[in-house]
Homo-oligomer: A and B are copies of this chain.
Amino acid sequence: MSYKFSEKMDHLKPSVIREILKYSSDPAVIPFSAGNPAPEAFPVEKVQAISANILAKEPIAALQYSITEGYPKLIEAVTNDLKNRLHIGADTDRVIITSGAQQGIDLTVKSFCSKGDVIICESPSFVGSLNAFKASEATLVGVPMDEDGMNMEQLEDALKANPTAKLIYTIPNFQNPSGITMSMEKRRKMYQLAKQYGVCIIEDNPYGDLRFAGEDVPAIKTLDEDGIVIYCGSFSKVLSPGLRVGFVCANADIIQKITVLKQTNDVHTNILAQMVAYHFMTECDFVGHLENLRKIYKHKAELMLSEMDKHFSKNVTWTIPQGGLFLWCTLPEDQDMLAFCQDAVKNHKVAVVPGNAFMTSDDVPTTSFRMNYSTPTDEQIIAGVKILGDLMK
């Protein structure tokens, strides 16, 4: 039978990127293409103890249906952590627990956008979010980035040119894929423009706790006197991505819409995972754990950067991230980046992600690619960077 799928599925076709990522699943390939936390970053023994304790003391609560909004103690812990550590959260704000930040972003966009509504985002941006936007049949408008975040003149031009814009999407800290952090000045400007043009901001901050250089920059949400910032957080990078626990903090009216959609989407997030996250963040020196993660990623990032200094061609440029998991490498304009990436993975078993994966449409030209330093071992970083360097020559 030839199935009559929804038109929106046409926007979500498998791409050349998927082909390259297929090669990456080969264990012999050096995975600079991944985005996985380092295996040594998982607090395995603590998760073992917490899980055993929950299933011994509260097994029925952990296995039974729960409420859509999330495990109440975790909501409270997240609300307090946002308030105390990040100075986030107004009296009119609420927190909902989601099945990863991905679900928070997906349901936020579905709450706001109908077919053709415009979402303005950084170009490049996180492919998972871009695909969620496309699945909502939203129209994507990409704004190029400077060294300190989205170009604000071009953001204002985009807002003027798109009166049906509903949302601005940004990853302000150690952006995926670019590694760039938005300056406080630009955060203020973005907030002011959003307010002026009557749009909301999705502030996606999965990496904010992973700063290993420079000074923390307050979240855009700290400026939010008008209830226009939808803050998405995640336990994926600070505890475990396999648990699929994230959250959204936003005005109660917005959280109510997300809750209704979540109920039709997956009823609620796995409750044992929510209970594990709650006990981990309140009883296991969460702040000390974050310190340890920063050390792990600082070491890996510095190792990759110093190896790149040694081996990469002088006409290749890259970003210097102050945290997170990624950096962004750009070949000279006359080079065929896609051919470079294909050659690297097929013939030399080093996988990076071609930059066009992160563009708002296939026809935005780029000679950049994304490199990840959290997944590979130190040995793989040293070997893989040398191989890429040799290929540049």
Contact = CB atoms under 8 A, between A and B. Distances in A.
Report the contact-size class of chain A (Cβ under 8 Å from the partner): 35 or more
A254 interface: yes
A99 B99 CA distance: 9
A217 interface: no
A161 to B, nearest CB: 18
Given A3-B200, A55-B47, A117-B6, A244 B266 contact: yes
B103 A266 contact: yes
Contact of A63 (B42, B55, B103, B113): B42
A158 to B, nearest CB: 17
Contacts of A28: none
A8 interface: yes
A213 interface: no
Interface string A1-39: 101111111001010000000000000000000011101
Q: How many copies does the complex hold?
A: 2
Interface string A77-97: 000000000000000000000
B6 A263 contact: no
A339 interface: no
A97 B251 CA distance: 33
A63 B243 contact: yes
Given A102-B264, A254-B3, A65 B131 contact: no
B128 A267 contact: yes
Interface string A190-202: 0000000010100
Contact of A111 (B5, B100, B236, B273): B5
A327 to B, nearest CB: 20
Given A100-B267, A128-B267, A266-B102, A166 B244 contact: no
A9 B135 contact: no
A9 B260 contact: yes
Contacts of A251: 1, 3
Interface in A246-282: 251, 253-254, 257, 260-261, 263-273
Interface of A: 1, 3-9, 12, 14, 35-37, 39, 42, 44, 47-48, 51-52, 55-56, 59-66, 99-100, 102-103, 106, 110-115, 117, 128, 131-132, 134-135, 166, 198, 200, 226-228, 236, 240-244, 251, 253-254, 257, 260-261, 263-273
